[in-house]
């Protein structure tokens, strides 16, 4: 069937976005709203989450929110059930929440490792289990945010990098397991996207500029829309060409740079 302008729109679809208070998550939520979707948003930051929700409402779309920790599987189940009871379904799940901290692997405690695993991997499994029962067969979409670090070494971020790679691999497996139900599962792997949590950094991309959170939102809109109706089990890199460039380089002081 030929594609048309309406196929990029998300009119009246319901999207759940985790980590939606700021940065990439907020940009995806607002982008979805501009393209016609209603939003379910969650985050630990109640104040910033409320601000994102108000901006969604200002665009004329419905929004529901929950202040929760994505590492809490019971909280994920409750939020999904609340949405199911209120709206009857969820069309798109965006697993955006995650984070890390810089430290050599040997300096990361068992407790720190556990926190990184739960925030970046277990949270994804929690929300997939919670939301899949509410995804419509034949049109549901799951989008997992990973990182360029899922595709290269991560010195100083070894556990974070490993968990992002785990999410990328999980995405492939879920694409196969859920494909028979017509549910598509894909990843977005950003890099060089300034957000409140990244701080300042030197821009080194083949495009010679940094990206923007709206660049990631554009990829998320594509993967949620009918433009990507035959795309599943893949990763869309939003990194200015850094995955193509590849490679870490050792500095004179022994640390690493990309």
What pTM value is reported for the model?
Answer: 0.94
Q: Return the higher-pLDDT residue of 137 and 197.
A: 137
pLDDT at 140: 97
Decide if 151 contacts 165 (C-beta within 8 A): yes
Overall average pLDDT of the 172-178 stretch: 98
Residues with Cβ within 8 Å of 172's Cβ and at least 6 positions away in sequence, in order, are 233
Q: How confident is the model at residue 248 (pLDDT cuts 50, 70, 90)?
A: low
Overall average pLDDT of the 159-180 stretch: 98
- Alpha helix (H) ranges present in the chain? 23-34, 46-58, 73-87, 110-117, 123-131, 158-179, 213-224, 242-245
CA distance 103 to 92: 34
Residue 160: active-site member: yes
Catalytic residue among 49, 53, 160, 184: 160
pLDDT at 23: 96
Pairing between strand 92-95 and 63-67?
unpaired
Q: How confident is the model at residue 143 (pLDDT cuts 50, 70, 90)?
A: very high
Using alpha carbons, select from 98, 93, 96 the residue that is nearest to residue 174: 93
Question: Which of these ranges, 33-42, 164-173, 193-202, has the smallest mean pLDDT?
Answer: 193-202
Supply the CATH number for residue 52's domain. 3.40.50.720
When divided into structural domains, the chain yields a total of 1
Token pair, residue 85, equals 């009871």
Enclosing H/E stretch for 144: strand 141-145
- As a whole number of angstroms, the longest Cα–Cα distance in the chain is 58
pLDDT tens-digit map of 6-52: 999 999 999 999 999 999 999 999 999 999 999 999 999 999 999 99
Q: Of all residues in the chain, what percent carry a pLDDT higher than 70?
A: 96
Listing DSSP states for 3-52 in one string gives --GGGG--TT-EEEEES-SSHHHHHHHHHHHHTT-EEEEEES-HHHHHHH
Tell me which residue range forms the domain holding 178.
5-257
pLDDT at 204: 79
Length of the chain: 258
Residue 258 has pLDDT above 70, yes or no: no
The 8-class DSSP code of residue 196 comes to T
CA distance 173 to 133: 18
pLDDT tens-digit map of 62-117: 999 999 999 999 999 999 999 999 999 999 999 999 999 999 999 999 999 999 99
pLDDT at 207: 86
Residue 119 has pLDDT above 80, yes or no: yes
Decide if 48 contacts 21 (C-beta within 8 A): yes
């Amino acid at each position: 069937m030929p594609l048309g302008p309406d196929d990029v729109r998300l009119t009246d679809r319901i999207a759940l976005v985790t980590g939606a208070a700021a940065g990439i998550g907020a940009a995806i939520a607002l982008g979805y709203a501009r393209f016609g979707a209603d939003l379910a948003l969650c985050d630990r930051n109640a104040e910033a989450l409320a601000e994102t929700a108000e901006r969604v409402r200002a665009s004329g779309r419905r929004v529901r929110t929950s202040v929760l920790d994505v590492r809490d599987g019971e909280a994920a189940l409750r939020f999904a059930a609340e949405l199911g009871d209120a709206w009857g379904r969820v069309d798109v799940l965006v697993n955006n929440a995650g984070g890390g901290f810089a430290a050599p692997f040997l300096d990361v405690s068992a407790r720190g490792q556990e926190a990184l695993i739960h925030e970046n991997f277990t949270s994804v499994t929690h929300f997939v289990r919670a939301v899949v029962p509410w995804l419509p067969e034949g049109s549901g979409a799951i989008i997992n945010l990973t990182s360029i670090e899922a595709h290269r070494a991560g010195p100083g971020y070894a556990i974070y990098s490993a968990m992002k790679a785990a999410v990328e691999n999980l995405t492939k497996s879920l694409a196969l397991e859920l494909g028979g139900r017509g549910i598509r599962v894909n990843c977005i792997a950003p890099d060089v996207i300034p957000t409140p949590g990244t701080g300042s950094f030197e821009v080194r991309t083949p495009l010679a500029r940094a990206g923007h959170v709206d660049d990631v939102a554009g990829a998320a809109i594509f993967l949620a829309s009918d433009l990507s109706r035959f795309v599943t089990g893949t990763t869309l890199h939003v990194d200015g060409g850094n995955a193509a460039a590849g490679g870490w380089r050792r500095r004179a002081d022994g640390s690493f740079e990309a």
